[in-house]
Every structure is written in structure tokens, then in C-alpha cells.
Amino acid sequence: MEEDFVEKILLGASVFRDERSLFPEFLPQKLPRREEEISRLATDFRPLIQKKGSFAINIAITGTAGVGKTAVARYCGKHIKNAAKKKGIAIKFILYNAHTFRTKTSILRNLLTDHFNVTARGFSDEEILGMLVKRLEKDDMRLIITLDEANLLGSDEILSIIHASEVFGIGRSRISTIIICRRTEWRAILNAPLSGHIHDQINIPGYTRDELVDILTYRAQLAFNPGVISEEIIEMVAEIASQTQNARHGIEILLRAGKMADYEHNSEINAENVRRAKVGVYPELRPDVLDDLNDHELLTALGLARRLKHHGITATTINEAYKYYQIACEEKGFKAQSMSAFRKYVSHLDSVGIIGKAVGPLGRGRRGRRARITLYDLPATVLEERVLKILELHNKK
């Protein structure tokens, strides 16, 4: 009986044509609204497919979460390989996420072992680089190493990978790099030696509402059966995601809303599905939104969370929150900034959707109207916990 029940679900009707096209790792055939960045990156790598000599090209791609940094790099890597193949040039494109590969050593060992079938165990980094160089020369191959979340490696580790190309000498370099970083982290690790080796820095902006409509419409066509999602529903999702300018946010809402429609045996995605999906992927629940904040923005969030948590209130004022920010700074060993700077931190937290600001009455028994600060879907205790973890990581760096 149970087997029949499970098979009925597995083989039953679904709103999805291919839900995998909404997965984070999916690379679509085209990237709407990123044509300019793709064109620029392709132009940067044009010398790589010239037969006369070989060049080391090092490009940085920066931007906030969900703006397509990794997708642009992967998309270009695929087409660079195809174009090079047509000219009889072999290029290998390999992407490493520093969340998984935390050191230069782990990247080099994986490169040699998994991609060139050469045992790297027991060798130093310099020996591994030498073996890699010889293998690339033997195979007459060029290598593009893409380092995602590169700030986790640090500038010294990134530089040592870039320097590997110098082993070949001028005109014979075979190792190029694409460095992917959020803007704030990139500024933190960009020193003079690293800056001197970067040939171009591509800053990718956040998406506008209209751009998100185009992107979500394209993804919906790939993911859902005809008639499942209307233009109005896509515009609703785009409006939500436009608050963070984050396409991944909108794509995840589409995926969850489709799942909810399937759970409810609906043939279409409705507004209630979207509203419920939004709660599950709302930006303040995403660690990468907090990860993109600087120390004082995090301390502002910490102060706000503690003010709201300790008193069980729904909203607070700038002046009241500033006192808790000052206490948080003292606790963590930071010098509290001025009230005007604090207001800017609060405005930024509001702009990325972590908090909300509104003008209203101060509350029971209190007269007047002021700008009030509140949290929407994220509990103050959860915000406090996550901010403390990120600050702890910052202190370890």
C-alpha cells in the first residue's frame, strides 16, 4: 500500500517541466541582462586563444550576493573553451569555491590528482606547481583557475597561485585566474602586490526590478509547464527580490512556490504560494546577506537585535538603538562611531532588507511620532546569534 502511495506521488502530475533549472548550480544557455559583463570578460580573455605565445590573464569579478558573478565566470569559461577548441587550442576551465577548498595546497593537490591524474601526495606546493607546469607544457594546454569566495584564501594565497604562471617566462605563461569576491571582502584583501597583477576588475551591479522580471520569466519558461505561472505572479516575485537586487533570491522563491503548488495539488502557482515561499527564503534568513556587512553594520544589527529581544518590543527608535550599538562596540573592542554614521548603518540594513524603518507612534503611553526600527520575519534572537558568529569569524582573520 505504501509503495503504491509513494509511486503515485513520484509519477503524478507536477507544475514543473524541469525544476533543476531553478537549482543554484544550474547554468542556463543564456544569462539575461548580463550581456555587457560577459562581453567584457570574453574580451579580456581573447589573447588566451591566440596561437602565438601564451598569456597569463588575471581578472577580478566583484559584486554583492546573487548578482551573477559565478554564473558569468562559468558561462564565459564554457564559451572560451569552445572558441579555443575551434582554433586547435586546449583550455581547461576549473572552478574552486574557497568554502570547500580553503588553502592553496588543497587546490593544487586537487588540480593535479583529479584533473591531470598525477599523484600529489607527499609533495610540497612548489613541487606540485612544477609538476603542473610540466604537464601543461606536455599537453600544450592552458589553464583558467577560477577562485570563488576568494577572500577566504587571502591575498597571499591568491598571489602565490597567480605567480605560478611566471615559471614559464614571458609569452609562455599557461595559468590564468578569475577571482570572484564580494566587493567589501575584495577591498579588504586588495593590497598593492595583488592589485599589480590584476588586469581588469569587473564590478557587477545589483538587478533592477525590470531586469529581474526578464530573468525570472526566462527561468520560469525553463522550469514550469505552460500556463503554470502568470506574468502577474512573476512580477510579484520580482518586486520582492528587487528589495535585495538579488536574482538568486527570486529564483529560490520560484522553486519553493512551485513545490508548494505541487504539495497542494494545484495546477498553477498562486499569490499565496509566493507569500509562503517568501518566508522560507527571505533575505535576512540568508547568511550571505549578513556576510556582506562590515563590522560596524554588524554591530548595529547586534545592538538592534538585543534592544528588541530584551524588552520584547516590536519596534525601537534610532536613539534607543544607538545606546545598544555603543554597548556592543565596547563589548567587542570597537570604537563606537558617531550618531550620523550609525544612521547610515541603519539605512544600509534597511536597504538590504534585514530591518524595516517606518514613521509611526512611539507606543503605548508615549506621545509623538518618530522613525521606528523593526524586524520583519527574522526573530531578534536568531539575528543576534548569526551576527555574533560572523563577528567571531572576523576576529579570527
Query: pLDDT for 40-59, tens place per residue?
Result: 999 999 999 887 767 789 99
pLDDT in tens, 314-355: 678 999 999 999 999 999 999 999 999 999 999 888 877 788
pLDDT in tens, 291-312: 889 999 999 999 999 998 876 6
Domain ranges of the chain: 35-203, 208-281, 288-396
Domain 288-396 is in which class? mainly alpha
pLDDT in tens, 51-104: 776 778 999 999 988 899 999 999 999 999 999 999 999 999 999 999 889 899
Where is pLDDT greater, at 118 or 286? 118
Tracing cell 559565478 back to the chain, one arrives at: 70
Q: Coil, strand or helix: which one is 161? A: helix
Is a pLDDT exceeding 90 seen at residue 202? yes
- Classify the phi-psi angles of 358: left when phi > 0, otherwise alpha if psi is within -120 to 50, otherwise beta: beta
Domain 208-281 is in which class? mainly alpha
Beta strands in 160-297 (DSSP E): 175-181, 200-203
d(CA 275, CA 67): 23
Domain 35-203 is in which class? alpha beta
Beta strands in the chain (DSSP E): 58-62, 90-97, 141-148, 175-181, 200-203, 316-317, 356-363, 366-374
Count of helix runs (H) and strand runs (E) in the chain: 18, 8
pLDDT in tens, 8-32: 788 889 999 999 999 999 999 999 9
Percent of the chain with pLDDT over 70: 89
